[in-house]
């Protein structure tokens, strides 16, 4: 039977990490916890749970990519590696089903499953996050940070890019595709996530981080996130300029810009409803998705400024 190891990563996750450690206890050959400078007792909790603890060097900016690479490097003769974020609990049985799927499909580099929110209805922001996770099963282009990866494929592409601070999983998956590997989401519950997002400010910061990912991954792989970047430039930059610059010229120009936003909002709401969201939720989520282009733009500009200045890419934390 192919061995499965688990790499958990975290930073000040507290009780969420304790739950994550409990969910993987006794289910893998090796469990490695990579800590990114926690000050809340996370290291002690991981040691008490029997995990091998790898503390990241605090002189270099933390990234999830760095942490996952460090966890992989600490494993002894890995074959299949399940990466789990420290704010997620592994669903019982997923490791066996993912392992069986990789065994049966040697062309696959990675399999993932369904992640869902533990406290979905605690906030509108948690609801939106839960909807983001629930994507169709089958061949995929990319996934989030929870995934089971074939060690051979991980090594072949040199793991995650440690300089990518957001959407590092998309960037990793893109390189796997380019190397000829397949990726798949199997129709199985995989992890339960705790976004713990209860304020507009948290959501805004997360959306800034998303925009940073659009720009950085798009810089490395121009064909990726192309549509997302165009939407941000249209709704986050071009239309506001039309509204502001057009107001002194003629009243119809700002009206056209505002009409474009209204149509985008309604189109997004209809799309969400078509994907199964109740109408009331779809209308609320559409507000956030329409607004998201502005923090996304801030994130994209942040990356461009950092890149131009050759500054370090520091993580953007929303909790």
Which stretches within 35-104 are classed as H helix? 42-48, 64-74, 94-104
Look up the pTM and report it: 0.93
Q: 182: which strand partners?
A: 108
Return the closest-CA partner of residue 153 out of 137, 177, 131, 130.
177
Region of 48 please: left (phi>0), alpha (psi -120 to 50) or beta: alpha
- Per-residue pLDDT of the chain in tens (319 residues, 90 and over written 9): 799 999 999 999 989 999 999 999 999 999 999 999 899 889 999 999 999 999 998 888 889 999 999 999 999 999 999 999 999 999 999 999 999 999 999 999 999 999 999 999 999 999 999 999 989 999 999 999 999 999 999 999 999 999 999 999 999 999 999 999 999 999 999 999 999 999 999 999 999 999 999 999 999 999 999 999 999 999 999 999 999 988 788 878 889 989 999 999 999 999 999 999 999 999 999 999 999 999 999 999 999 999 999 988 888 988 8
The CA radius of gyration of the chain, in Å to the nearest whole number, is: 21
In which element (H, E) is residue 9 found? Answer: strand 4-10
DSSP state of 122: G
**What is the Cα–Cα distance from 66 to 45, expressed in whole angstroms?**
21
**What is the Cα–Cα distance from 88 to 99, expressed in whole angstroms?**
19
Cα distances (angstroms) measured from residue 271 to each of 88, 100, 208, 210, 223 = 28, 35, 23, 21, 24
Return the closest-CA partner of residue 90 out of 177, 4, 218, 197.
4
Contact yes or no for 302/212 (Cβ under 8 A):
yes
| Domain residue limits, the chain | 4-193, 200-309
Contact yes or no for 95/23 (Cβ under 8 A):
no
The two three-digit tokens of residue 141, written as one number: 């282009």
Q: From the DSSP assignment, how many helices (H) and strands (E) are in the chain?
A: 13, 9
In the three-class reduction of DSSP (H, G, I as helix; E, B as strand; rest coil), residue 34 is classed as: strand
Q: Output the CATH code of domain 4-193.
A: 3.90.550.10
- The pairing of strands 52-55 and 31-35 is parallel
């Amino acid at each position: 039977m192919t061995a499965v190891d688990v790499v958990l990563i975290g930073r000040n996750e507290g009780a969420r990490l304790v739950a994550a450690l409990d969910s993987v206890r006794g289910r893998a050959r090796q469990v490695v916890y990579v800590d990114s400078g926690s000050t809340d007792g996370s290291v002690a909790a991981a040691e008490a749970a029997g995990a091998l603890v790898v503390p990241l060097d605090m002189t270099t900016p933390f990234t999830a990519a760095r942490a996952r690479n460090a966890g992989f490097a600490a494993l002894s003769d890995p074959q299949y590696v399940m990466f789990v974020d420290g704010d997620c609990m592994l669903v019982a049985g997923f490791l066996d089903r993912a392992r069986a799927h990789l065994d049966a499909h040697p062309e696959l580099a990675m399999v993932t499953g369904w992640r869902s929110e533990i406290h979905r209805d605690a906030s509108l922001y948690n609801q939106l996050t839960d909807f983001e996770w629930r994507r169709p099963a089958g061949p995929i282009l990319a996934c989030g940070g929870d995934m089971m990866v074939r060690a051979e494929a991980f090594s072949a592409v040199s793991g995650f890019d440690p300089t990518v601070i957001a959407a590092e999983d998309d960037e990793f998956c893109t390189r796997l595709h380019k190397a000829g590997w397949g990726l798949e989401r199997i129709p199985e519950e995989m992890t339960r996530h705790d976004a713990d997002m209860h304020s507009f400010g948290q959501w805004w910061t997360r959306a800034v981080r998303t925009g940073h990912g659009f720009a950085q991954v798009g810089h490395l792989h121009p064909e990726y996130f192309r549509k997302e970047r165009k939407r941000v430039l249209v709704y986050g930059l071009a239309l506001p300029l039309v509204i502001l610059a057009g107001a002194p010229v003629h009243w119809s120009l700002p009206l056209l810009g505002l009409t474009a936003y209204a149509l985008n909002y309604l189109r997004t709401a209809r799309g969400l409803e078509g994907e199964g969201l109740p109408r009331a939720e779809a209308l609320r989520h559409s507000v956030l998705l329409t607004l998201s282009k502005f923090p996304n733009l801030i994130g994209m500009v942040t990356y461009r400024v950092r890149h131009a200045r050759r500054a370090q890419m520091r993580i953007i934390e929303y909790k």
